[in-house]
Structure formats: structure tokens, C-alpha cells
């Protein structure tokens, strides 16, 4: 497994995000159109890619949320690489990078039809919080979470 730090111009990231968008459209149908407006990958400077046997296996990124926090976006593991620790490696890489540049908290939003993501985040120490920002009022389909990363190893 190889971890690469990059940005949103990376073609492998763009390819994985395309696959993520297809997956989310299948999961949520027309509802995904609402959520898609919040998922632009233009100008994202902090992207993690994981490669297995030189193939892009998973991705994730973060963007500033407030002075102390970043928001995790576009987490995805390709079907053929699920169950191999790729999601955890991406998430851990994002947490480490955010801590290195001075952030102390990660927040995220996920849909309620992604039980595998919920397990990943809970196992990584994320806690459910009240929905924030554009997700307020979407509690029926949207779950927001946070994790403190202050004191993260190597930060």
C-alpha cells in the first residue's frame, strides 16, 4: 500500500471521484443532486490517494471548515479494494496531514445509506454531532461527525 499526498488536479483522484459520484447516485438517486452541490473538488489542496499494486485504490481530501477544523470530503474506496484497510489508511493520512498543518478537529458529513463508512468513522473515533451548515434540516438522510486530532501522533 502506497500513500500519496496530492491535490484535486490529480487524474487518479478525479477518476476515483467519478466512481464515487456514480456510487452515490445509485445509493441516493435524485436526492444526490442536492448533496452534489457541496462536493466540488475545484481547488482542493489536500488530497490523499492510496495505491495497491500501482492501482488507485482509494481517496479522500479535506478543506478548511473554520480556524481550527477541516472538513473531510470525497472519501472513497474502489469496490475491488474494499476490506483491505484502504479507507482507514486514507482517513489516517488525512488526520495526520491536518494535524501537521495546525488543525485540531475534523468534521464530516455522510449519508445514512453507507453503513460501511459509518463503521469506519466510528472505529476511528468519530462521534455523531448535530448537523451543521447546509446539512441542518437534512437529518433524515445526513449524519455529521467530528473527531479531535489535537495531540495526534507526529503533529
> In the chain, what are the domain boundaries?
2-148
64: Cβ contacts below 8 Å, ≥ 6 apart: 70, 71
Phi, psi for residue 84 in degrees, rounded to 5: -115, 10
CATH architecture of 2-148: 3-Layer(aba) Sandwich (3.40)
Using alpha carbons, list the distances in angstroms from residue 48 to 44, 60, 80, 144.
11, 5, 18, 21
pLDDT in tens, 89-137: 999 999 999 999 999 999 999 988 888 999 999 999 999 999 999 899 9
Residue 28 confidence (pLDDT) above 80 = no
C-alpha cell at 82: 474494499
**From CA 59, how far away is CA 14, in angstroms rounded?**
10
3-state secondary structure (DSSP) of residue 9: coil
Whether the CB-CB separation of 108 and 145 falls below 8 Å is answered with yes
- The confidence band for 1, taking pLDDT boundaries of 50, 70 and 90, is very high
pLDDT score for 23: 86
pLDDT in tens, 50-75: 999 999 999 999 999 999 999 999 99
Q: Give rounded-to-5 percent helix, strand, coil for the chain.
A: 35, 30, 35
Residue 26 confidence (pLDDT) above 90 = no
pTM score > 0.75 for this model?
yes
Amino acid at each position: 500500500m502506497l500513500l500519496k499526498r496530492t491535490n484535486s488536479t490529480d487524474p487518479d483522484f478525479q477518476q476515483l471521484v467519478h466512481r464515487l459520484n456514480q456510487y452515490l447516485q445509485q445509493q441516493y438517486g435524485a436526492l444526490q443532486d442536492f448533496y452534489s452541490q457541496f462536493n466540488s473538488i475545484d481547488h482542493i489542496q489536500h488530497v490523499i490517494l492510496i495505491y495497491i499494486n500501482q492501482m488507485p485504490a482509494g481517496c479522500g481530501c479535506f478543506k478548511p471548515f473554520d480556524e481550527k477544523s477541516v472538513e473531510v470530503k470525497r472519501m472513497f474506496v474502489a469496490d475491488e479494494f474494499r476490506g483491505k484497510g484502504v479507507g482507514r489508511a486514507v482517513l489516517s493520512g488525512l488526520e495526520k496531514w491536518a494535524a501537521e498543518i495546525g488543525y485540531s478537529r475534523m468534521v464530516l458529513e455522510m449519508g445514512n445509506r453507507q453503513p460501511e463508512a459509518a463503521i469506519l468513522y466510528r472505529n476511528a473515533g468519530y462521534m455523531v454531532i448535530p448537523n451543521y451548515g447546509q446539512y441542518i434540516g437534512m437529518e433524515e438522510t445526513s449524519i455529521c461527525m467530528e473527531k479531535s486530532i489535537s495531540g495526534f501522533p507526529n503533529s
